């Protein structure tokens, strides 16, 4: 599918939604101001593990302006526990601690007052009597059956543990020329959007309806909120026309929303709960994967990687949530872009007394890619072989697609060698080698990272049944509806929020493409959850595929209907109608034609001119099932995880200061193939941002805890997000291998950059440190860590 | 707690209000005046989302109390456009290069860039990066923002009449 | 993150400041730029009953620079100090440090005196004050006093100032002769507080021999410190690499650095020595030029 055939797709077009953000006229949740709105502030546990003996709110309630103090016990009695993604019926989680506080910062009580300041005043006056318990903070210690159980009813700190063997792993290891093993450590970081999570809930007792505005990015959010609040699904109306100030996975404040909804009903008043930054970092339950990989690789003397054994131990924090499932998505790309004959994968999720995790960009794939790419570099190093040659040898070839990996997922398409070559050429790699070697000759530590990584896209949920056999979900659909009015104006309705991905541009571009109408003239609106068609929200790099596909499907139905109307008016069969540039004409008789407006007007006003059986008006909707979706995992855990596989190759130059350990990034190139780009500026923007986020995870960002489970990096003074100084000028080289599975050949790209960035930077740093005999597979590589490590080797 | 009568000129309009001592300037702008274009990201002076022009210079409005702004002249993102309903050259340049995604840091970023261009009409990349270094963006990796500021500088200096 | 309740008063003049401070039974805080105080207030780590605003007091801002010294009113904005020609000419070391204080937007509001009074261990201005033996003037209803920089800082975020005193001026003496300066800091991100910062000013005679040197280290210990032993060893040398390295051995032995989430004590010690060598060399080169 050549890009040239598109009219609007793949061309530079100003994103539709940008204007309101630039004018300062967007509507974020904190901008919503309802009559009589009350404000909530939280009482948080100072202990990482403690029994709550009593809570006394008398003094707090006496403060003028305070409306209520609600404890975890009251909330637990009135709501259903939140669901985890596991088959673990005795794991209970409510929005606030009930009986036990399991991490420092966990909400114990909430205060509602006239202003946030008064609510904070009162929160200080709530007296909680705790009995401190011995916390578990080391994930390996949590594996010990003797470690104190954080969820005593569950009986163990192991939330999930399973080993899959796909293919003849034992034989491949036994028969390999060489084997190596190492440990890789991905410390806890997250996406940390600049907007914290917030929610406003308002109970309308006359209509028995809870209205909710939230900075949410979450599948099934309205359903889960209603369920927890013991309301029917149609008793909650979530407004999706709230602009979300960044998410990248984590904006899933179900607990905040349950609490706000409960309070709104209890007080019969609108209640606003907006995290401040301290709430967000500590008690927002939005930290990310925290993983120890034990990697084993079997390979031949010629450099062919035969088999992998991967053991991934993830410290999910105090509550399971969906964190264990972040060990699941990587099953769909467990061997990366490489031809590997067999794989063993053991996934272990343990609970500790730390803040819970939420889904982070890539849902576990970025840490996995980091471990895989370091494994590939280690193989090259062990063989004395060039890293790039080794990758070329093992990368799946363009003529091998669709390619099914041992864990059962088929990769749709790609040309990995071509993208790698483009990235190297853009370096240019040879010049970087010259620069590196000159720097080394001058006594510096300089290195180059070259990685090749996958971005599984399309947001299926196959890890759910894989990790919980009682969950037989096999669809992760997305919908879109289109209305055309009597004057021919097109309004597209989508069914979820956006957090910067440009979905209004996506939907209008796709619909404009199909209907050959200028996307500028197409309005995109958002249904609320009661008027919405099914959606699974913008997770898993899925919206270009799924919303794009649903919008295209609906637009095609509109076009068919309009063509049928035109055919009847022009007295020919629908098959004889051509449509171009807003004109329906009879094939071979260009003089016999009708304009788009005329057809639309007929649809709305002249029933007598419509084909028999046709509904009046001009509207359509389409609900798209995920391509390749719809099936359950096999008994041995093989599964088609995501439909589409985007690919990226990073080439990065880095220097490491011998004394300070500071890493300075130089040239940074990303070769990127996500199939057809609906809007290149949007795709590039997300990729630049993904690299920046990857730089943070690789070099700066870490949620640190002391051994008592106290968070040590709970502000922006010590959780270090890269600024404009830390992100180099990044060059992207595009390549387009269309997906055969999607409407326009598009794949996902919302996680681009982040999926290869940490891997690339770690490989560059390791190349720089290699002359000292240092190999370090641990992120983030902070100056303090590298400086001390280099010092030990130089003594 | 004391309360204070203040008079502030914001985007050319004079506002009079009585504020409690502990109310920050950003909370005053957002919650009292409903000028919600200015955002709150950290409330401790690191992220820059609350940046405004205060007496002609960009500052963080979370690090001031409203009572301190008595008599001051302020410009917020809502006041950057030369006419109501329009966009400034800088805002339009942000649109042209897609220098935003979620839009949350954008008002602060615009203020930082606006202040830079007032001071240095043709900034270098390094000067642009320094000027926006106190404004954290989680979406863009800053590249398209730097491009936007360069484009705006070109347009404003007449080098790029079309772009 | 909303501050606990407090009263606010905008002082018209210094007498007004003293009256307000005296009336608050030690529970008042002075606000100038607010860049350090406001975060402490909204996190409720500081809980004064009264916040006294000194921004409107004309005599507290302004810069006077001549061949003998550069004097700042305490409420002088950092940006004004950074851009003042007199500072560039007479206090080049301070100018180098000011460029690394926070971000453009915090420099626009933050003040010279506020940075000193808040006494963050890693603050650049305090380090320069200590390095150049600045004289700090504090006044109260009981009168005024001059405080030498080496007696000013008493610990992390604490100084000798009493709750009734207002820091009013700081004077950075200017050295005569052929002078060169060097400033280097190591921070995680460029705009962060330094893990270690080193400031150096040297004076050399016509033969290139060091006649005077000040070497200060910030961020390593709870207060900025001077490398006095190293300074003594360097006077009388030509500040060649061997001289510098020999002198810095004593710094490595005498420095007693902090350890925190960002860096170990050993790390800070190594980096302090490393940066000290560079700043001395660049100060020397500047003096020779």
For A630-667, how does the pLDDT look when each residue is reduced to its tens digit (9 = 90+)?
A: 999 999 999 999 999 999 999 999 999 999 999 999 99
pLDDT in tens, B25-40: 999 999 999 999 999 9
Domain regions of chain B by residue span: 3-79, 89-156
Residues, chain C, total? 289
Indicate the CATH number of A361-369+384-462+641-794 among 3.30.365.10, 3.40.1000.10, 1.10.3720.10, 3.30.43.10.
3.30.365.10
List chain C residues with CB under 8 Å of A662.
186
The CATH fold of domain A477-624: Aldehyde Oxidoreductase; domain 4 (3.30.365)
Nearest-by-Cβ selection for A784 from C44, C189, C267: C267
For B131, nearest residue in chain A (alpha carbons) = A724
pLDDT at A460: 83
pLDDT at A635: 93
In the predicted model, what is the mean pLDDT of residues B82-107? 97
Is residue A455 within 8 Å of residue A648, measured between CB atoms? yes
**Neighbors of chain B with 3 or more C-beta pairs under 8 Å:** A, C
Nearest-by-Cβ selection for B133 from C5, C31, C103: C103
Look at domain C58-173 and name its CATH class. alpha beta
Q: pLDDT tier at C91 (50, 70, 90 boundaries)?
A: very high
CA distances from A689 to A341, A681, C152 (A): 34, 12, 45
Strand, coil or helix: A485: coil
List chain B residues with CB under 8 Å of A19.
87, 95
Q: From A422, A428, A446, A374, select the one nearest A184 (Cα to Cα).
A: A374
CA distances from C231 to A81, A418, C218, C251 (A): 66, 60, 16, 9
**Neighbors of chain A with 3 or more C-beta pairs under 8 Å:** B, C
Q: Which CATH architecture has domain A32-133+197-274?
A: Alpha-Beta Complex (3.90)
Q: Which CATH architecture has domain C7-53?
A: 2-Layer Sandwich (3.30)
Residue A425: which residues within 8 A CB-CB, separation 6 or more? Answer: A733
For C8, nearest residue in chain B (alpha carbons) = B21
Name the token pair of A126. 């709530």
In the stretch 40-59 of chain C, residues with CB closer than 8 A to chain A read: 43-44
Nearest-by-Cβ selection for A277 from C1, C195, C263: C1
Which CATH number is associated with domain B3-79?
3.10.20.30
- Which residue(s) pair with A71 in the sheet? A109
| H or E segment to which residue C202 belongs | strand C196-204
Q: From C7, C32, C28, C10, select the one nearest C168 (Cα to Cα).
A: C32
CA distance A695 to A701: 9
Domain regions of chain A by residue span: 32-133+197-274, 361-369+384-462+641-794, 477-624
The CATH fold of domain B89-156: DNA polymerase; domain 1 (1.10.150)
pLDDT in tens, C62-74: 999 999 999 999 9
Q: Give B63→chain A minimum CA distance, Å.
A: 14
Q: pLDDT tier at B161 (50, 70, 90 boundaries)?
A: low
Is any Cβ of chain C less than 8 angstroms from the Cβ of A783?
yes
Q: From A536, A552, A554, select the one nearest A496 (Cα to Cα).
A: A536
| pLDDT higher than 60, residue B93 | yes
The angle, 0 to 180 degrees and rounded to 10, between the axes of the packed helices B143-156 and A680-695 is 120
Domain regions of chain C by residue span: 7-53, 58-173, 178-288
Is any Cβ of chain A less than 8 angstroms from the Cβ of C109?
no
Look at domain C178-288 and name its CATH class. alpha beta
Is residue C222 within 8 Å of residue C156, measured between CB atoms? yes
Residue A610 CA from chain centroid, whole number:
45
Is any Cβ of chain B less than 8 angstroms from the Cβ of A686?
yes
Q: Angle at CA A764, nearest 5°, toward A758 and A766?
A: 100
List chain A residues with CB under 8 Å of B137.
194, 689
Buried b / exposed e across B73-95, counting CB within 10 Å, b at 16+?
ebbbbbbbbeeeeebbbbbbbbb
Contact at CB, A723 and B41, closer than 8 angstroms: no
pLDDT at A3: 45
Contact at CB, C2 and A116, closer than 8 angstroms: yes
pLDDT at A397: 98
pLDDT at A602: 98
CA distance A410 to A391: 20
Strand, coil or helix: C187: coil
Q: Alpha-carbon dihedral of residues A611, A613, A618, A624, nearest 10 degrees?
A: -120
Contact at CB, C3 and A791, closer than 8 angstroms: no
Contact at CB, B138 and A191, closer than 8 angstroms: yes
| pLDDT higher than 70, residue B47 | yes
Termini Cα distance of chain A: 59
Query: Within A582-735, where are the H helices?
Result: 596-605, 680-695
Q: From C201, C197, C187, select the one nearest C220 (Cα to Cα).
A: C197
CA distance C256 to C259: 10
Nearest-by-Cβ selection for B112 from C7, C53, C105: C105
pLDDT at B160: 59
Contact at CB, C39 and B112, closer than 8 angstroms: no
pLDDT in tens, B124-157: 999 999 999 999 999 999 999 999 999 999 999 9
Is any Cβ of chain B less than 8 angstroms from the Cβ of A26?
yes
DSSP A81: P
Domain pair A361-369+384-462+641-794 / A477-624, same fold: yes
List chain B residues with CB under 8 Å of C187.
none
CA distances from C221 to A783, C137, C160, C216 (A): 19, 24, 17, 11
List chain B residues with CB under 8 Å of C109.
54, 57, 59-60, 63-64
CA distance C98 to C199: 12
Is residue C128 within 8 Å of residue C173, measured between CB atoms? no
Helix, strand, coil tally for chain A in percent (to 5): 30, 25, 45
pLDDT at A2: 42
Q: Which residues in chain A land under pLDDT 70?
A: 1-4, 795
CA distance A496 to A218: 9
In the predicted model, what is the mean pLDDT of residues B99-115? 98
Is any Cβ of chain A less than 8 angstroms from the Cβ of C10?
no
pLDDT at A35: 96
């Amino acid at each position: 599918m050549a890009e040239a055939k598109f009219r609007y797709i793949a061309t530079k077009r100003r994103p539709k939604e940008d204007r309101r953000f630039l004018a300062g006229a967007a509507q974020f949740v904190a901008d919503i101001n309802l009559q009589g709105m009350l404000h909530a502030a939280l009482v948080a546990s100072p202990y990482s593990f403690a029994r709550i003996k009593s809570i006394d709110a008398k003094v707090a309630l006496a403060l003028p302006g305070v409306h209520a103090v609600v404890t975890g016990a009251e909330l637990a009695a009135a709501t259903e526990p939140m669901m985890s993604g596991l088959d673990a019926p005795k794991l209970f989680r409510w929005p606030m601690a009930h009986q036990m506080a399991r991490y420092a910062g966990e909400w114990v009580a909430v205060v509602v007052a006239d202003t946030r300041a008064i609510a904070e005043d009162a929160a200080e006056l709530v007296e909680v009597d705790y009995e401190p318990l011995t916390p578990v903070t080391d994930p390996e210690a949590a594996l010990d059956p003797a470690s104190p159980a954080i969820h005593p009813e569950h009986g163990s700190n192991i939330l999930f543990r399973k080993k899959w063997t796909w293919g003849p792993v034992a034989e491949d290891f036994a028969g390999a020329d060489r084997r190596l093993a190492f440990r890789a450590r991905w410390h806890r970081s997250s996406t940390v959007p600049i907007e914290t999570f917030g929610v406003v809930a308002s109970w309308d007792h006359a209509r028995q309806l809870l209205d909710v505005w939230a900075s949410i990015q979450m599948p099934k959010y309205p359903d889960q909120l209603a369920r927890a609040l013991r309301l029917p699904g149609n008793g909650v109306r979530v407004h999706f026309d709230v602009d979300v100030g960044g998410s990248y996975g984590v904006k899933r404040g179900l607990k905040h929303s349950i609490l706000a909804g409960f309070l709104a009903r209890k007080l019969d008043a609108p209640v606003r709960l907006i995290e401040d930054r301290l709430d967000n970092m500590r008690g927002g339950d939005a930290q990310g994967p925290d993983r120890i990989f034990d990697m084993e690789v079997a390979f031949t003397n010629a450099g062919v990687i035969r088999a992998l054994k991967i053991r991934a131990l993830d410290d999910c924090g105090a509550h399971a949530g969906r964190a264990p499932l972040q060990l699941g998505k990587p099953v769909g790309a467990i061997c990366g872009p490489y031809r590997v004959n067999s794989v063993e994968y053991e996934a272990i999720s343990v609970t500790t007394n730390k803040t819970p995790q939420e889904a982070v960009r890539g849902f576990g794939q970025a840490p996995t890619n980091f471990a895989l790419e370091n494994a590939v570099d280690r193989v090259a190093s062990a063989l004395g072989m060039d890293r790039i040659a080794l990758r070329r040898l093992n990368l799946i070839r363009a003529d091998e697609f669709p390619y099914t990996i041992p864990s059962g997922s088929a990769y749709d398409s790609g040309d990995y060698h071509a993208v790698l070559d483009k990235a190297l050429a853009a370096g240019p790699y040879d010049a970087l080698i010259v620069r590196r070697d000159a720097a080394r000759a001058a006594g510096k530590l300089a290195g180059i990272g070259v990685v090749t990584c996958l971005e599984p896209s399309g947001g299926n949920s196959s890890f759910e049944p894989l990790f919980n056999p009682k969950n037989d979900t096999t669809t992760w659909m997305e919908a879109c509806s289109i209305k055309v009015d009597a004057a021919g104006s097109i309004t597209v309705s989508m069914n979820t929020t956006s957090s910067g991905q440009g979905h209004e541009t996506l939907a209008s571009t796709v619909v404009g493409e199909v209907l050959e109408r200028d996307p500028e003239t197409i309005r995109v609106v958002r249904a609320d959850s009661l008027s919405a068609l099914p959606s699974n929200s913008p997770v898993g790099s899925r919206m270009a595929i799924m919303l794009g596909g649903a919008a295209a499907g609906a637009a095609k139905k509109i076009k068919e209907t309009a063509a049928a109307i035109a055919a009847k008016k022009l007295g020919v069969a629908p098959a004889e109608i051509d449509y171009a540039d807003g004109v329906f004409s009879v094939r071979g008789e260009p003089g016999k034609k009708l304009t788009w407006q005329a057809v639309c007007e007929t649809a709305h006003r002249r029933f007598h001119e419509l084909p028999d059986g046709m509904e009046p008006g001009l509207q359509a909707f389409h609900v798209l099932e995920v391509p390749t979706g719809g099936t359950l995992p096999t008994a041995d855990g093989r599964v088609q995880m995501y439909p589409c596989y985007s690919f990226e190759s990073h080439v990065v130059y880095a220097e490491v200061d011998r004394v300070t350990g500071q890493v300075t990034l130089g040239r940074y190139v990303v070769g990127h193939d996500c199939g057809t780009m609906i809007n290149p500026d949007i795709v590039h923007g997300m990729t630049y941002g993904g690299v920046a986020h990857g730089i943070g995870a690789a070099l700066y960002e870490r949620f640190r805890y002391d051994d008592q489970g106290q968070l040590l990096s709970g502000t922006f003074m010590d959780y270090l997000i890269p600024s404009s100084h830390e992100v180099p000028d990044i060059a992207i080289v595009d390549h387009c291998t269309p997906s055969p599975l999607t409407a326009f050949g598009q794949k996902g790209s919302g996680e681009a950059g982040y999926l290869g960035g940490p891997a690339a930077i770690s490989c560059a740093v390791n190349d720089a440190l290699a002359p000292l005999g240092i190999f370090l597979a641990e992120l983030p590589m902070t100056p303090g860590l590298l400086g001390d490590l280099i010092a030990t080797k130089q003594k | 707690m004391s309360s204070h009568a203040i008079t502030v000129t914001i985007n050319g309009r004079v506002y009079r209000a009585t504020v409690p001592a502990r109310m920050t300037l950003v909370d005053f702008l957002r919650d009292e005046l409903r000028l919600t274009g200015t955002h709150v990201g950290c409330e401790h002076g690191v992220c820059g989302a609350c940046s405004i022009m205060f007496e002609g210079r960009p500052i963080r409005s979370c690090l001031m109390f409203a009572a301190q702004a008595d008599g001051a002249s302020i410009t917020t993102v809502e006041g950057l456009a030369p006419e109501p309903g329009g966009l400034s050259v800088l805002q339009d340049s942000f649109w042209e290069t897609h220098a935003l995604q979620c839009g949350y840091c954008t008002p602060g970023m615009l203020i930082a860039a606006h202040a830079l261009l007032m001071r240095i009409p043709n900034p270098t990349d390094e000067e642009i990066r320094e000027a926006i270094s106190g404004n954290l963006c989680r979406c863009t990796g800053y590249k398209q923002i730097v491009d936007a500021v360069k484009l705006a500088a070109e347009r404003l200096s007449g080098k790029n009449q079309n772009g | 993150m909303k501050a606990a309740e407090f009263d606010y008063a905008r002082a018209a003049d210094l007498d007004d400041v003293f009256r307000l401070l005296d009336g608050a039974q030690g529970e008042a805080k002075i606000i100038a730029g607010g860049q350090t105080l406001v975060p402490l207030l909204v996190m409720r780590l500081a809980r004064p009953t009264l916040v006294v605003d000194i921004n409107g007091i004309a005599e507290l801002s302004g810069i006077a620079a001549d061949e003998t010294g550069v004097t700042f009113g305490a409420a002088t904005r950092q940006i004004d100090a950074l851009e003042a020609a007199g500072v560039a000419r007479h206090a080049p070391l301070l100018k180098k440090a000011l460029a690394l204080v926070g971000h453009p937007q915090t420099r626009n509001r933050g003040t010279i005196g506020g940075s000193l009074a808040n006494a963050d261990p890693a603050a650049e201005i305090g380090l320069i004050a200590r390095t150049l033996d600045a004289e700090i003037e504090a006044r109260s209803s009981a009168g005024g006093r001059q405080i030498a920089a080496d007696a000013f800082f008493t610990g992390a975020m604490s100084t000798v100032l009493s709750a009734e005193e207002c820091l009013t001026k700081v004077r950075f003496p200017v050295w005569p002769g052929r002078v060169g300066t060097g400033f280097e800091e190591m921070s995680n991100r460029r705009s962060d507080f330094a893990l270690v910062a080193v400031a150096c000013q040297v004076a050399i005679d016509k033969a290139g021999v060091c006649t005077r040197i000040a070497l200060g280290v910030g961020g390593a210990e709870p207060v900025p410190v001077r490398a006095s032993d190293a300074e003594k060893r360097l006077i009388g040398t030509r500040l060649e690499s061997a001289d510098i390295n020999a002198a810095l051995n004593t710094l490595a032995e005498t420095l007693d650095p902090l350890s925190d989430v960002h860096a170990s004590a050993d790390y800070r010690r190594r980096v302090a020595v490393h940066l000290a060598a560079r700043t001395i060399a660049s100060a020397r080169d500047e003096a020779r030029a």
